[in-house]
Amino acid sequence: MCRETVREFSNRNMEVTGKILLALIFALYGICQVQYVSSTNVTYDHRAVVINGQRRVLVSGSIHYPRSTPDMWPDLIQKAKEGGVDVIETYVFWNIHEPQQNKSNFKGRFDLVKFIKTIQRAGLYAHLRIGPYACAEWNYGGFPVWLHFIPGIKFRTDNEPFKMEMERFTRKIVEMMKQENLFAPQGGPIILAQIENEYGNIDEPYGEAGKRYIKWAASMAVSLKTGVPWVMCKQADAPPIVIDTWNGFYGDQFTPEFPTSPKIWTENWSGWFLAYGDPVPSRPAEDLAFAVARWYQRGGTFQNYYMYHGGTNFGRTSGGPFIATSYDYDAPIDEYGLPNQPKWGHLKELHSAIKLCEGALINSEPQFVSLGPKQEGHVYSDGPNICAAFLANMDSQNDTTVKFNGVSYHLPAWSVSILPDCKNVVFNTAQVSSQTTSVQMQLASSKLVHSSSKERSYLEMEEKEWSWLPEPIGVWGKGAFSKHGLVEQINTVGDSSDYLWYTTIIDVDDDEAFLKDRTQPVLHVESRGDDLRVFINGKYKGGKSGNNSLPNITLDQPISLKSGRNRIQLLSVTVGLQNYGSFFDLRGAGITGPVKLMGFKHGEKDLSSQTWIYQIGLKGEKYRFYNGKTTAKARWATGAHMPKKQPMIWYKTSFDAPEGNDPVALDMSSMGKGVAWVNGQSIGRYWPTKLAPNTGCDETCDYRGNYGPDKCLRNCGKPSQTLYHVPRSWIRPTGNILVLFEEEGGDPHQISFKTRTVKNLCAQVSQTHLPPVDSWKSSLKTRAEGIKPKPELQLKCPSSGQVVSSIKFASFGTPEGKCGSFTHGACKTNSAIPIIHQACVGRASCSVEVSEEKFGDPCMGITKTLAVEAICS
Ligand code: GAL
């Protein structure tokens, strides 16, 4: 109706001048648009989420809004959409929204409404996991630390003060979404909501009170009347008013508790998280695709990649302890927002194949077909015209051939073939045809410059280009207080800082033997974590840190003491608060003792219960040195004597934006441990001296067989993370300020900016490869005529505005090697380069049929492959 009115209106007013007419038409369209926002009805049955009366097969992907910037959101969501994702899943992170009690923050990266509206604008659905416990490798699992100080509170159990706060925050988020009409029945994108998170994994020690809590949480959520279903993940005893869902690397064996619930996988871990001190995890695309295909094969209709884009733990948001600043997760979109190939492309193909089966999946139940001891098929059929099949080979070693409907099908080990018409295989999870990209971190052509010497390249930076400021050792200001005995850190600091100073005085008699002979007394310190540094009389003596699996520290540090008064100054540092486990909130941190001195004439001295002076946080935090301003409290020094390799120094410099639009990272390899700020925004904790162990990485990564976080590890013996993402939107063209607080000692002169650049694309497709899934769309319908598409090699430049500028290598025949080092084999045509050149150069994407008709036949009877390496610019 509205559309007609607009048309009529424009016809009748032809004579009205252009601008006015256009303005009116737009206004009318605007009104119509609002009126057109249709209410979406969301329910579910035992097979699927039902949207407007129609069962849906949905692919979902997690993108956590505070782990990227609002500038990045539209592109990330668009890339998810292009990759075949229908739903974006995010947690809501309580502690960023209410950092202090009775204070709210929904601005910038924390603008949840804007994020959900960005999803809506892209035409996707949203799954809002309110929690409000999130886990997510996020500081304190998402809980604000002030919650811990509410008298009588006990987290995640039948406890009135906790339930009151949990309900208040959940209601606040629901109301906020309702006010903006963001739930599906209001015309918004939110089709599902989650309450709690994986409580079933850790509920045992909470006993009966835990059981009561879960029932309460479900009823509380449902009472908020969002109009969309609520889920609880990993909660086998969830009450029937919510859907219990699955999280894990594989989910095909899962069946929901109630026969009336659909099979929903809220977290399919697309890789794994990185912790400082650990190698870098990766999960092969073939295995991830296998897990997904098995899910839909065995009755699943909703699956979510945790993560689809992992992003970055900016500021102090990472949990753990020891979760790294990068939360890349080996997700289909990398930390910087670029497609992680071939994973992104391979999954896109998989999603297209699954969507070709949607009609069969929603109209029927899976019928099991035995294909062998480690092989199984499932058929979805509703009458003669609708039939889809999945054929799986779960054997992790051997390829095999199975018979299905009288036809032989070759099934590689650990793979699933998808047949949307029960005849033609359009996709096999182990066959990757998607392009790969060689991603380089290139030295940026920008300058880290002091404002007075713009000409100098950052490579030849001289000392005067940095300013510095020492952070005081031990007690530095008014807030210091003294107490008998040692204190627990989280209770003392309330997470207002990573840092807590413990200082005590020890008097040494003149006749102590260690003052004369060459022995040294030993300081013994026991800490609950996470990182510990020892200073004696203001001098750094050493330190030790725990790790993600064992944060506790026992340190025996030889020290030098003088006769008379000595100050023992211990800096205890947290590296993200615990986010998982029963009673995780009570784990605690810091030096809880004992602290002893050994090697004295009377044996050991226990310092644990003597008087200690405490100072919370750094002076530079209190007086905001990270803004880089010169104030009465922050007198930055410059000149030739910049301290290097010394602990507890603030550094600052200025820089111009790296040229181009590629994503930017700081290479911090020359530094120790600390925090970096760009224009006052914390890019997170850096820690390149925390190395992964030497062993545990696989030279080759075999996708076959069960994946776990210990498989396919990379980077053994190297720093867990050296590159730190600096979002483009935080950088101005000129005059940016970089500030570092270095805890351990480093050389800022070696810091550089890098840009993440994808120049080379490679693809390798053989004549026996399957054609692209989309090319089947028409031929499946006309299959009676027996038209079969041919395999194609497809290339697409990753960034918008890029085109293929040249072809570095192309060969049709028996090419050898891999991307970056392809060589011609014994069999090759001369036509490959000109054909590929013509098809691709000057274009953002291209596709070329891999056939003898196209390239000629250089070696009859041999299966030929087309390998191409192209450059985008
Ligand atoms: C799950 C949890 C997620 C995340 C994931 C590991 O147990 O629900 O929030 O922590 O593990 O990345």
- Percent of the chain having pLDDT more than 70? 92
Report the pLDDT value the prediction gives residue 781, as an integer from 0 to 100. 62
Across the range 228-237, mean pLDDT stands at: 97
**Which ligand 1 atom is nearest residue 137's CA?**
10
Question: Which one, of 86, 156, 98, 163, lies nearest residue 126 by Cα?
Answer: 86
Q: What's the full length of the chain, in residues?
A: 873
Architecture of domain 437-471+623-756: Sandwich (2.60)
Query: b/e for 449-476, b at 16 or more Cβ within 10 A?
Result: bbeeeeeeebeebeeebbbbbebebbbb
The mean-pLDDT minimum among 271-280, 478-487, 563-572, 755-764 falls in: 755-764
How many angstroms does the Cα of residue 281 sit away from the middle of ligand 1?
15
Number of H helices, E strands in the chain: 16, 42
CATH topology of domain 790-872: Jelly Rolls (2.60.120)
Answer yes or no: is pLDDT of 25 > 60.
no
Nearest residue by C-alpha to atom 10 in ligand 1: 136
> 565 burial class (0-12, 13-18, 19+ CB within 10 angstroms)?
exposed
C-alpha distance from residue 47 to each of 186, 260, 388, 797 (Å): 25, 8, 16, 39
Collect all residues with Cβ–Cβ distance below 8 Å to 97 and sequence separation of at least 6.
Answer: 104, 105, 106, 110, 112
How many angstroms does the Cα of residue 206 sit away from the middle of ligand 1?
20
Nearest residue by C-alpha to atom 5 in ligand 1: 136
Residues having CB closer than 6 A to ligand 1 are 135-137, 197-198, 247, 267, 273
Q: Where are the beta strands (DSSP E) in 607-727?
A: 611-616, 649-655, 664-667, 674-678, 681-686, 723-726
Q: Determine whether 267 is an active site residue.
A: yes
Report the pLDDT value the prediction gives residue 453, as an integer from 0 to 100. 42
pLDDT category of residue 639 using cuts at 50, 70 and 90 = confident
Mutate to test the pocket of ligand 1, among 93, 267, 323, 578 (most ligand atoms within 8 A of CB): 267
- Percent of the chain having pLDDT more than 90? 87
Across the range 169-186, mean pLDDT stands at: 98
pLDDT category of residue 456 using cuts at 50, 70 and 90 = very low
Q: Do residues 163 and 219 touch, judged by C-beta distance below 8 A?
A: no
Q: Residue 124 and residue 779: Cα distance in Å, rounded?
A: 28
Collect all residues with Cβ–Cβ distance below 8 Å to 668 and sequence separation of at least 6.
Answer: 676, 686, 688, 722, 723, 724, 746, 751
Q: Tokens 């340190």 appear where? A: 555
C-alpha distance from residue 769 to each of 351, 389, 730, 788 (Å): 18, 19, 44, 13
Report the pLDDT value the prediction gives residue 440, as an integer from 0 to 100. 87
Across the range 299-328, mean pLDDT stands at: 98
**Other CB atoms closer than 10 Å to residue 599's CB: what's the count?**
18
pLDDT in tens, 719-745: 999 999 999 999 999 999 999 999 999
* Phi, psi dihedrals of residue 360, rounded to the nearest 5°: -70, -40
**Which ligand 1 atom is nearest residue 579's CA?**
10
How many angstroms does the Cα of residue 138 sit away from the middle of ligand 1?
10
Give the pair of three-digit tokens for residue 323: 């979760």
DSSP state of 97: H
The mean-pLDDT minimum among 123-137, 438-452, 528-542, 605-619 falls in: 438-452
Architecture of domain 481-617: Sandwich (2.60)
Mutate to test the pocket of ligand 1, among 246, 306, 328 (most ligand atoms within 8 A of CB): 306
Q: Tokens 């009389």 appear where? A: 537
The mean-pLDDT minimum among 3-12, 100-109, 247-256, 480-489 falls in: 3-12
Answer yes or no: is pLDDT of 102 > 90.
yes
Answer yes or no: is pLDDT of 10 > 50.
no
Q: Which of 82-96, 698-712, 817-831 has the largest mean confidence?
A: 82-96
Choosing from 98, 137, 196, 267, the catalytic residue is: 267
How many angstroms does the Cα of residue 851 sit away from the middle of ligand 1?
45
SS3 breakdown of the chain: % helix, strand, coil, rounded to 5?
Answer: 25, 30, 45
pLDDT in tens, 794-840: 999 988 888 999 999 999 999 999 999 999 999 999 899 999 999 99
SS3 26: helix
Report the pLDDT value the prediction gives residue 35, as an integer from 0 to 100. 43
Answer yes or no: is pLDDT of 34 > 50.
no
Across the range 393-415, mean pLDDT stands at: 98
Report the pLDDT value the prediction gives residue 698, as an integer from 0 to 100. 82
Across the range 71-100, mean pLDDT stands at: 98
How many angstroms does the Cα of residue 89 sit away from the middle of ligand 1?
13
Across the range 228-255, mean pLDDT stands at: 97
pLDDT category of residue 5 using cuts at 50, 70 and 90 = very low
How many Å from the N-terminal Cα to the C-terminal Cα in the chain? Answer: 47
How many angstroms does the Cα of residue 320 sit away from the middle of ligand 1?
11
Report the pLDDT value the prediction gives residue 3, as an integer from 0 to 100. 36
CATH topology of domain 47-357: TIM Barrel (3.20.20)
Nearest residue by C-alpha to atom 6 in ligand 1: 136
Answer yes or no: is pLDDT of 697 > 90.
yes
**Which ligand 1 atom is nearest residue 233's CA?**
8
Q: Residue 146 and residue 100: Cα distance in Å, rounded?
A: 7
Report the pLDDT value the prediction gives residue 758, as an integer from 0 to 100. 85
Answer yes or no: is pLDDT of 451 > 60.
no
Mutate to test the pocket of ligand 1, among 64, 135, 317, 318 (most ligand atoms within 8 A of CB): 135
Answer yes or no: is pLDDT of 19 > 50.
no
Question: Which one, of 317, 329, 314, lies nearest residue 579 by Cα?
Answer: 317
Report the pLDDT value the prediction gives residue 788, as an integer from 0 to 100. 80
Report the pLDDT value the prediction gives residue 2, as an integer from 0 to 100. 37
- Dihedral (CA of 369, 370, 371, 376) sign: positive
Q: Determine whether 89 is an active site residue.
A: no
SS3 535: strand
Report the pLDDT value the prediction gives residue 786, as an integer from 0 to 100. 60
**Other CB atoms closer than 10 Å to residue 339's CB: what's the count?**
23
Report the pLDDT value the prediction gives residue 454, as an integer from 0 to 100. 41
Report the pLDDT value the prediction gives residue 93, as an integer from 0 to 100. 98
